[in-house]
Amino acid sequence: MSANYQSPRYAHIVGWGKYVPPNVLTNEELAKKVDTTDAWIRKNTGIVERRIATKETTAAMALYAAQDALEVADVNPNEIDLIIVATSTPEYIFPATASIVQDKLGAQNAGAFDLSAACSGFVYGLAVAAGMIRGGTYNTVLVIGAETFSRLLNWKDRATCILFGDGAGAVLLQGRDEPGGILSTILGSDGSGGELLEIPAGGSKNPTSLETVMANAHFVKMNGREVFRFATRIMVDATKQALQKANLTLDDMDLMIPHQANIRIIDHAIKTMGLPPEKVYMNLDRYGNTSAASIPLALVEAIEEKRVKPGDRLVFVGFGGGLTWGSCAVEWTEPVVKRAIPPAKAAQSKLRYQWANVKSLGHRVLRRVDDGVNRALDLIDKPENVNGNGNKK
């Protein structure tokens, strides 16, 4: 729903949440499936284990992370104006995963769309949300990064299957008059490098066929070396640019939360920028590369580990397929102490989500009944205009 708020407003992160599947796949377990070793993976990527969705889907994980974010912010779903799901592993080509999340949340006043910018998607989502809020179009925007890459990996390709994991992270942004929140955003793209990291088939250029399936063309394909070279350069440049745009320097930055692709990429950036390691947050050892989910997942864990406090200046920096990159300077303004949720409030939220499910089911049933009744009426009215399937000729 479009509302018009007094602009300019500042876009603050007021809620945050995450979900990771409980199912853990360690390097040792992986080494039983594909020709690799725990030692190689640790040394070359820093990854020790990752989470793999079993029953979970991208929308389900996005939903859980979103529910957490709303709970932290103490905001009702019907206050959300817009839901953006950054993902390269949506449930379907369409409908958008964001619409599924909107329905399950019962966010009846929200628009919803998916955003495709690979591992930079979450930062792209923040940029869109902050722009909408600053411009006064919307006041409350949910940005989610959610991925189920495990389902699009070739588990026989040791160069890619060791890298990725599943999960979701979400933040809720709200407009406020007080300065702070998202200070600057930088977005970039170099489509000439698209083939360096891609899923070649399944889109409109190479639709699914027996040949594409036989050629494993529906799985992630990557030129690791080239992506590595791109990532090390862009991470440093994009971080500096976001700080500069916010009139800050590296010294002003309290914590960098980079896309969790590879410890060697992050270490390179730390060295190049001369940063003390405690200024950089990493959790890739536990989750691997969760693509668009990696930055919000890392942000939530940094908060849980008390690495973020009001007044801190953070930089998020993402990079990946496209090629794309994005960075964002943030002045953190929210208290990070987890509020105790009164049992009555928790029960109310649960009821709200159950009711959203019932309403959604009701809408589906009503739509079917409506369709059936209309067809019957058409038949009675003008049988010659209706074909054997009950459709109008």
Q: Which residues bind ligand COA (CB under 6 A)?
A: 36, 40-41, 44-45, 119, 158-159, 162-163, 222, 224-225, 227-228, 231, 261-262, 289, 320
CB of 58 to ligand COA, least distance (A): 17
CB of 224 to ligand COA, least distance (A): 3
Closer Cβ to ligand COA, 35 or 251, answer by number: 35
Which residue is catalytic, options 27, 139, 259, 328?
259
Closer Cβ to ligand COA, 24 or 34, answer by number: 34
Does the annotation mark 289 as catalytic? yes
**Strand pairing report for 324-331 and 181-189:** antiparallel
State the Cα–Cα distance between residues 368 and 365, nearest whole angstrom. 5
CB of 118 to ligand COA, least distance (A): 7
CB of 33 to ligand COA, least distance (A): 11
Which residue is catalytic, options 161, 262, 289, 328?
289
The answer to whether residues 153 and 218 touch, using CB atoms and an 8 Å cutoff, is: no
Does the annotation mark 218 as catalytic? no
Minimal CB distance residue for ligand COA = 224
The answer to whether residues 118 and 324 touch, using CB atoms and an 8 Å cutoff, is: yes
Put residue 213 in one of left, alpha, beta given phi > 0 → left and psi -120 to 50 → alpha.
alpha
Does the annotation mark 12 as catalytic? no
State the Cα–Cα distance between residues 348 and 43, nearest whole angstrom. 48
Which residue is catalytic, options 119, 161, 262, 328?
119
Residue 252's CB: how many other CB atoms inside 10 A?
A: 13
Closer Cβ to ligand COA, 156 or 225, answer by number: 225
Nearest to 283 by CA among 272, 293, 274, 275: 293
Closer Cβ to ligand COA, 226 or 378, answer by number: 226
State the Cα–Cα distance between residues 67 and 127, nearest whole angstrom. 22
Which residues are marked as active site? Answer: 119, 259, 289
